[in-house]
Amino acid sequence: MYTNSRDPTSNYHSIIVHETDVLVTANPVSVETYQGSSVSLKAYPDYRASVKPWWKYYGPFSALDELNKRGLLDDGSAKFLESSVAGRTLGASLDDARQVLTPYMDRHGDLFVSLYIPDLEKRPLKPSRQAVVREIASLSLKHRARVTGLKQRNLLLGHKPLRVLEIGYTSGGTSAFAWEKSGCEAHAIDYFFGDTVESGGRHKYIADMIGSDVQFHVGDVTKKTDLPEEYFDIVFSSSVIEHIADLPAAFEEIKRLLKPGGITMHAYDPYFHPAGGHSLGILDSPWGHVRLSKDEVLDYIRTMRPHEAPVAVPWVQNALYPEHTQAQVQRSVCGAGLRLREWKTAIVGKDVAGQLTEEIVTDVLRSNPGLCVQELLTRKVSFIAQKER
C-alpha cells in the first residue's frame, strides 16, 4: 500500500511503498467480482457506504428518509426503506420507492418543496427557517473571510457592493444567499445538468422564506450567457469544476463576465480521488472508477446496480469528466488569459492513502496516461485566478 506522510524536518511529502494489499470490510462474505477488459474489480459490500451516503441522492429514497426521521413513516414503509438501502446498491427501483412515497405526499404535501420529486434530489422536504438562517450565517462568515483575504493581498479593489456570480445552485442556493448576507449583489447561474433537476425548486422556496433579492439565472457558462460583460467583481464556484464539460470555454465566458482586475475563485473535488466518482459513480472498491475506463464504469453500473442504472448511467456519462486533471484545469484557466494567483491542494488522510495498493496504481497509470500518484491522493483543489486590470 501507499502511505502519504510528511517529513517534519523538511517541506517534502513522501509516498512510501509497501507490498501489502489491505482493505478492511465489515462483511467479507459474498464479495462479487466485475471483470473489465484488463482489470478484475472486487465489489466489497460495505465499501461505498464508508465513502458516502450514496442512496440519499436518489429523490424518492431521500424523501422517505426525511419522513422517517420526522417519525411519519409506518412500520412497513420504514422496513421497505431500510431493506432497500442496506446493501451495496439499491434493493428496489425508484418506481417502487415512489409508490411507497405517494400516499405520504398526498397526506403531507405541505412538507415538500415541490410535489415533483426529481430522481436526483437529496433534500426534497422544506427546511426550517432556523436551519436555513444558521447555514447562511455560517457560509457568510466564510465568504467575508475570502473577501478580506483578497483585499489584504490587493487582489480585489472593487467598491461596495461587490457583484458576485456563483456558478451552481442545484442544492438550494444557500451559498448565494450567504454572498447577499455578506453585503454583495449576488447572482447565481446553473443549467441543471440538462434539466436533470427541476429549476423551480428549493432556492425559490428559500428566497421567499427569507425575502432575498438574489438573482437566479438558468444558463450554461460554457456558452455565451445573457449576463452582462465585465459586470462581476467575483465569479465563484464550489464542487462545480468537475461537472463542467468544456473548461476552456467556461473560463473564456468567466473572463468575459469579470471586470478588469476581477477575481474567479473555485474549489472542487478531483475525479481521481476515492470519492471523485461522487455518490452515483463511486464503485465498490477503492479507486474503482479510475481503474476502469469510463465505458467500463458505465457497464459496471448497468451490470452491478440495475436499479440505479437508469439514473446513474446518464448522470455519470454527462456530468463527470476524467480528462480534468489538475494540469488540464490550469491550462484552461491560463489559456483563457486569466492569471493564476493561487493553487492549493488537500491530501487524503492516512487511512485512505493506506488503501492505495501497488496493483491499483499500476491499473490506474496504465489506463490513464499522463496521470500521477499525487492526483490519486488529492481530495480537494482550490484556486484563485484574476483578469488583467
pLDDT in the model for residue 157? 79
Contacts (Cβ under 8 Å, ≥6 apart) of 312: 280, 281, 301, 305
Pairing, β 163-167 against β 185-190: parallel
Q: How many CB atoms lie within 10 A of CB 281?
A: 24
Structure-model confidence comparison of residues 210 and 120, the more confident one: 210
Report the range of poorest mean pLDDT among 74-88, 93-107, 156-170.
156-170
CA 182, chain centre distance (Å): 24
**Structural domain containing residue 190:** 129-273+318-386
Band of the pLDDT at 94, cuts 50, 70, 90?
A: very high
C-alpha cell at 289: 472508477
In this predicted structure, what is the pLDDT of residue 49? Answer: 94
Grid cell in block for residue 274: 476515492
**Stated pTM of the model:** 0.90
User: What span, in angstroms and rounded, lies between the C-alpha atoms of 266 and 382?
Assistant: 6
Residue 200 domain-assigned? Answer: yes
In the predicted structure, residue 196 carries a pLDDT above the cut 60: no
Do 354 and 366 form a contact (C-beta atoms < 8 A)?
no
Q: Is 13 within the bounds of a domain? A: no
SS3 call for 56: helix
Report if residue 112 sits inside a domain.
no
User: Is the predicted pLDDT of residue 199 greater than 50, yes or no?
Assistant: no
- Check whether 89 has a pLDDT greater than 50: yes
The C-alpha cell that represents 233 in the structure block: 467583481
- pLDDT value, residue 191: 85
Sign of CA dihedral 326, 329, 330, 331: positive
Q: Is residue 339 part of a domain?
A: yes
Q: What is the CATH number of the domain that holds 232?
A: 3.40.50.150
Question: Is the residue at 158 inside a domain?
Answer: yes
* pLDDT tens sequence across 230-249: 999 999 999 999 999 999 99
Q: How far apart are CA 72 and CA 107, in angstroms?
A: 10
Query: C-alpha distances in angstroms, 351 versus 1, 2, 215, 333, 377?
Result: 11, 10, 42, 33, 11
For 182-194, the pLDDT digits (tens) are 999 999 999 876 5
At 200, the pLDDT band (50, 70, 90 cuts) reads low
Is 281 within a domain?
no
Q: Are 100 and 178 in contact (CB under 8 A)?
A: no
The answer to whether position 33 is within a domain reads no
Q: How many domains is the chain partitioned into structurally?
A: 1
3-state SS, residue 78? helix
C-alpha cell at 316: 455519470
- Residue 81 domain-assigned (yes or no): no
Would you state the pLDDT for residue 368? 84
